[in-house]
Structure 1
Amino acid sequence: MTNKRKFLMILFFVFMLIGNTMNAQNSINKSLCIQEQSIVTIAALTAIGDIDNLKIELNKGLDAGLTINEIKEILVQLYAYCGFPRSLNGINALMAVLEERKIKGIQDKKGQEASIIDSKLDKYQSGKQNLQQLTGIEEKELKGANAFTPIIDTFLKEHLFADIFNRDVLNFEQRELTTIAALASMSGVTPQLQAHIGMGMNTGITETQILKAFDLIEKNIGKQQAIIAREVLAKVIIARQNK
């Protein structure tokens, strides 16, 4: 580990120690429930394409109380972060698992369907509002890649943050947990992981929950990915402390 990494990790654990001491009796330090743990592992294994272990975790998720439609929604959302091929492979894995469980006589709960969205809704503005709610920042002008290539801004707002995030099968907190788990499992996406950790914390996901998610990443994906993810979390915590 480099000196820079060691310094970041030391700062991270100092902030965690202070936070845990101050909030030991506070719900801010709530951990992941069993269903949320399943969301993390399902998203992570789908993102890296580990179908054999994904099937095991899909069974665990269903046993933990996730509905069929909730898992479908997780797998559908993931195509925006890890691509159609892995999303579709995850959906096919779910179909196989459900068929196996049906043969065994297991009746899984289907769960709610997504509510109908007003067809007259301005998707760009809806996506923009959702994104601003997640980031806590009002966008006054396009910047960076969105300004350089405006069509990607349109796709992000109209499709990802409107078409997908407006579907009420999952709430924003569950969607961000899904996204964080997927990004933490993949290499080369630390800027996006950093952004979504911040968004997730804005929805109510706690530092303790994110740490637990990264423990699951270490267990199911690998130690190196977990180390990187924890370093990114440390940067987010420092940035939020300095606001």
Structure 2
Amino acid sequence: MKIQAKPFLTTLIVILGLIVSWNANSAPVEEDTGLSQKEKSLVRISSYTAQGKLDGLKKVLNEGLDAGLTINEINEALVQLYAYCGFPRSLNGIVMFMGVVKERKERGIHDEQGKEIEFNDGVADKYEQGRKVLEVLTGRPQSKPTSGFGQFSPRIDRFLKEHLFADIFASDILSYHQRELVTIAALASMQGVEPQLGAHIGMGMNVGVTENQLNDLLSIIEETVGTKEAESGRNLLRGIKVRSN
């Protein structure tokens, strides 16, 4: 039987078009599934450190290593936390972590050390470096000095720019996304820091922390701290969403 070439080709093109269309429509859409297990561990570590709850901290430090966080990543989170919950709780967390790593090694568990931190002490103007990091986090220009408290207390403005956002945030052991999760979790675990918590929720969203991830984070805060603190964070998140729409 002789097949008519033109009608056959036309039919084939139509069928191929339908297949392509079906594949495009049925292809799985990448979903925002919330926090990964590593990120959840960072949130729990930050929350317990900020509260000074060492028993809970020991458990979640082990869970963080089991989830695949490296020793240096957890160390970096604990170092960063001193800027938000103070040296005493940060140091307590680091000492606790030292013990956890030692115990695991004695039990024959091998934990990855991870990427080594590189200190960039050759920056000519650390204030300017920190100011630029803050511009990335906030998504808007940063005056020099910061208006308001920065003009009233230039030293604290310099410490924030040169140390927190240059020495600490500029290190690539943790991404800005991870650092904001650490910061938001710590602030959400403490009372009386709502202005800073709201600011960092905004910064987190600006560097890719999603609403689902923030909801996951606040659900963890409800477990590690309480409903009152979680609801305070949710209210701030709702307010930020309203202002951004």
Question: Where on the TM-score scale, by shorter chain, does this alignment land: which range?
Answer: 0.7 to 0.9
Tell whether the 8 Å contact from 2:134 to 2:142 is kept in structure 1 after alignment. no
State the secondary structure of the residue aligned to 2:141.
coil
Which of 157, 167, 171 is the equivalent residue of 2:171? 167
- Are positions 1:38 and 2:52 aligned together? no
Which of 89, 98, 101 is the equivalent residue of 1:98? 101
Distance 1:121 1:86 in 2: 32
Higher relative contact order (CA 8 A, sep 6+): 1
Counterparts of residues 127-142 of structure 1 (less than 5 Å): 127-141=130-144, 142=146
The alignment's C-alpha RMSD in Å is 1.4
- Are positions 1:204 and 2:208 aligned together? yes
Counterparts of residues 118-157 of structure 1 (less than 5 Å): 118-141=121-144, 142-157=146-161
- Are positions 1:176 and 2:184 aligned together? no
Alignment-derived partner of residue 10 in structure 1 = none
Q: How many residues align?
A: 217
Alignment-derived partner of residue 81 in structure 1 = 84
Alignment-derived partner of residue 112 in structure 2 = 109
State the secondary structure of the residue aligned to 1:78.
helix
Distance 2:229 2:123 in 1: 43
Overall identity of the aligned pairs, in %: 53
Distance 2:155 2:237 in 1: 30
TM-score (norm 1): 0.86
Q: Deviations over 1:123-151 (max 9, x none)?
A: 00000000011101112353121111111
Question: 1:80, CA displacement in angstroms?
Answer: 0.2
Alignment-derived partner of residue 60 in structure 2 = 57
Q: Which runs of 5+ in 1 are unaligned?
A: 1-23
Alignment-derived partner of residue 7 in structure 1 = none
Rg (Cα) greater in structure: 2
TM-score (norm 2): 0.86
Distance 1:60 1:185 in 2: 19
- Are positions 1:69 and 2:68 aligned together? no
Distance 2:88 2:190 in 1: 15
Change in 2 beyond 3 A, CA 1:169/1:220: same
Q: Which runs of 5+ in 2 are unaligned?
A: 1-27
Amino acid at match of 1:167: S
Distance 2:57 2:189 in 1: 13
Alignment-derived partner of residue 242 in structure 2 = 238
Tell whether the 8 Å contact from 2:118 to 2:171 is kept in structure 1 after alignment. yes
Amino acid at match of 1:49: G
Q: Deviations over 1:154-199 (max 9, x none)?
A: 0000000000011110011110110000000000000000000000
